[in-house]
Amino acid sequence: MPLSKIYKLHFSSNRRYVKALKNMLGFVPGNLHLYHLAFRHKSVAVPVKDGVKNSNERLEFLGDAVLGSVVAELLFKKYPYKGEGFLTEMRSKIVSRAHLNQLSKKLGLNELIQYDTRMISYPNKQGSLLGDAFEALIGAIYLDKGYVFTKNFLINRIIKPHVDIQTLEQTETNFKSRLIEWCQQAGKEVSFVQTENAEGDSVKIFTIDAVVDGEVCGTGRDYNKKSAEKIAAEKACETLNVL
Amino acid sequence: MPLSKIYKLHFSSNRRYVKALKNMLGFVPGNLHLYHLAFRHKSVAVPVKDGVKNSNERLEFLGDAVLGSVVAELLFKKYPYKGEGFLTEMRSKIVSRAHLNQLSKKLGLNELIQYDTRMISYPNKQGSLLGDAFEALIGAIYLDKGYVFTKNFLINRIIKPHVDIQTLEQTETNFKSRLIEWCQQAGKEVSFVQTENAEGDSVKIFTIDAVVDGEVCGTGRDYNKKSAEKIAAEKACETLNVL
């Protein structure tokens, strides 16, 4: 191990944080600033310039793209005789918010994410906090270590040990019908209710609540009603642990 | 230049094709099979196994992802103080079908694409043939040369010389309103007409024609009506050279 890594792990003022990251990720991070940023939810971020906050949202944008590319190649090579429709669907399943939230929990990212607990107090309401941080982490690793390193990390440390691709092949991804079916079996009532937009929202945006037995279990927002319902259903599935 | 490249360029049986690619791309391709595949439209592809054809669709899936990742990083670094909403929108503009079709033409990909001219006889009806081949080419370059090479190729050979990011910042991407505005100015009538699905199509799919002065100028198909209209409008903008 190079001296700089030994210093970082054992003598630097950040050594606890570096050790926590090393245990979680399997490598010694280079630029710690990137990892701090990846774990900073917008609820605790402060504006830096032109109204942009130092939250993990920009890294999430980057990490989402890098993840999409790595998974695309993995599937392209794993399934040489499957059409692009199948590949696209499989990728959606692997990178779905519900699935990334699960992965995030398995990795233990929840220990490191900084967020305002007053805003997000109930664990089930953490929504996509975990999955977002996972994508932001991928963005941070990419900037810190480059594409090939990130690809190997994702394949060997995340996908091979934690993602059961064979099972995902069989999984139904229609969250709305999955939620409705689950509610029928559990004797619960489910409905999708359009709510008013918050002030300042574009009039084009639809906001839909998935309501189960009178309680809002997921909210979706999108430019069309169907997609907003889909997001609401996905979030409700997550809240209720419908798999 | 290594001997293998000199051989490929001047002595191999494929030397004309290799030279054409080198002139277009600026480098000597390695695995020619990948480039042949990238330029083969599904209309001339033949089944290879399990019903999957040797068309460029799978490479397009891969290239789309790699392109998305490269553009994400470029924008992330170019705009350090812009939020992820802005970055997402800018990326959509750069990788929009209409824009990729333009890029494809500028590169001269139309000279190399193989397709059934009986099916796609009128140049304006070529639709996304060009943009699809562009993405497939990125997939081929990625498999042939790796991520860093592809990134440098895209930035130095495509984006810097051909993409005016400053102008794109100002561009309106709402194709429907852009089409309607253009038709108003040109004194043409425009309407969006829902048509019946082809036999065997999923009942969930909407098919919408953008009709300008009685002629179908673009067709969109998607799981919701709004998106299908959007795609139809984008294709019509392309057909009518509405920029």
Give residue-wise pLDDT tens across range A104-133: 988 999 889 998 877 665 455 566 788 999
Structural domains present in chain A: 31-169 (1.10.1520.10), 175-239 (3.30.160.20)
Cβ atoms of A138 and A63 closer than 8 Å: yes
Q: What whole-number percentage of chain B has pLDDT above 90?
A: 42
pLDDT score at A122 = 47
**pLDDT exceeds 70 at position B18:** yes
Strand B190-195, strand A206-212: pairing: unpaired
- Nearest C-alpha of chain B: how many angstroms from A68? 6
pTM (two decimals): 0.76
Which residues lie below 8 Å from residue B74, measured CB to CB, with a gap of 6+?
B155, B159
Q: What is the pLDDT of residue A82?
A: 92
The region of weakest confidence among A174-178, A239-243, B41-45, B85-89 is: A239-243
* Residue scoring higher pLDDT (B67 or A171): B67
Q: What mean pLDDT comes out for the span B41-46? A: 89
Measured between CB atoms, does B201 come within 8 Å of chain A? Answer: no
- DSSP H helices in A57-146: 57-78, 84-94, 97-107, 129-145
- DSSP at A81: T
What pLDDT is attached to residue B74?
Answer: 97
Which residues in chain A are contacts of B82 at CB distance < 8 A?
Answer: 50, 52
Q: Do B81 and A224 touch (CB under 8 A)?
A: no
Split at pLDDT 50, 70, 90, the class of B30 is: very high
Assess whether pLDDT exceeds 50 at residue B55.
Answer: yes
Nearest CB to B87; choose among A58, A72, A142? A58
Residue-level pLDDT at B70:
98
Nearest CB neighbour to A147, from listed B52, B60, B148: B148
pLDDT bucket at B147, cuts 50 / 70 / 90: very high
Please choose, from the candidates B241, B227, B233, the residue with its C-alpha nearest in 3D space to the C-alpha of residue B101: B241
| The pLDDT value given to residue B173 | 66
Question: For position B145, what pLDDT does the model report?
Answer: 97
Which residue stretches of chain A have pLDDT < 70?
119-127, 172-173, 197-204, 243
With beta carbons under 8 A apart, name residues in chain B contacting A175. none
Cβ atoms of A102 and A242 within 8 Å: the answer is no
Give which of A203, A212, A206, A213 is closest to A235, Cα–Cα.
A212
pLDDT in tens, A176-190: 888 888 898 888 999
Higher pLDDT, B119 or B153: B153
pLDDT at B122: 47
Contact A61 B223 (CB under 8 A): no
The answer to whether A7 faces chain B, any CB pair under 8 Å, is no
For residue B98, the model assigns a pLDDT of: 78
Long-range contacts of B173-178 (CB under 8 A, 24+ apart): B173/B89, B173/B92, B173/B93, B173/B96, B175/B98, B175/B230, B175/B233, B175/B234, B175/B236, B175/B237, B176/B229, B176/B230, B176/B233, B178/B233, B178/B237, B178/B242
Q: Which tokens sit at A204?
A: 């084009």
